[in-house]
Amino acid sequence: MNSILKSAIGLSILIVAANCLDCKQCKIGVLGNCFFGNDISCSSSTESCYTGQAQFNASQSLTLISKGCIDSDLCGSALTGSILGVTFTSSITCCNTDLCNGASSVQLPLTVALCAAILSSLWGFLEF
């Protein structure tokens, strides 16, 4: 009886581990490109892959993205805020199949990524 219980627990753990969702992860992306992206396995408490976009209202051309795992309760949410006096609007979209938030990643040095972010934000101010 003890071996049957151990087998059932082991099988349950394997089923739970097999049901974990795989998502693309992107800590930060600019201009539609993900910097330092990778694939991750979500924990059993997160049921969705997400893509988050934050658009800065002053430039209209700079959009930051992030991708990863998220609790389904946060899907479809929107937020407006301000960083250093610059307002932004963000939104979160979700999906529920493996790697469905497809993030194309570009492996660039951090200095190149920061320069691209600064140049794109300056580009918006130069259009006035």
Q: Does the CA dihedral 30-45-95-59 come out positive or negative?
A: negative
Look at residue 76 in the predicted model and tell me its pLDDT: 94
Of the candidates 110, 56, 125, which has an alpha carbon nearest to the alpha carbon of residue 86?
56
Condensed to tens digits (0 to 9), the pLDDT of residues 20-57 reads 899 999 988 887 788 888 999 999 888 899 999 988 87
pLDDT score recorded for residue 23: 96
pLDDT tens sequence across 110-121: 555 555 555 455
Q: What is the pTM of this model?
A: 0.63
Phi, psi of 112 (to 5 degrees): -65, -40
**CATH class, range 2-126:** mainly beta
Where exactly are the structural domains of the chain?
A: 2-126
What distances in angstroms separate CA 26 from CA 38, 79, 90, one per listed residue? Answer: 7, 19, 16
Q: How confident is the model at residue 63 (pLDDT cuts 50, 70, 90)?
A: confident
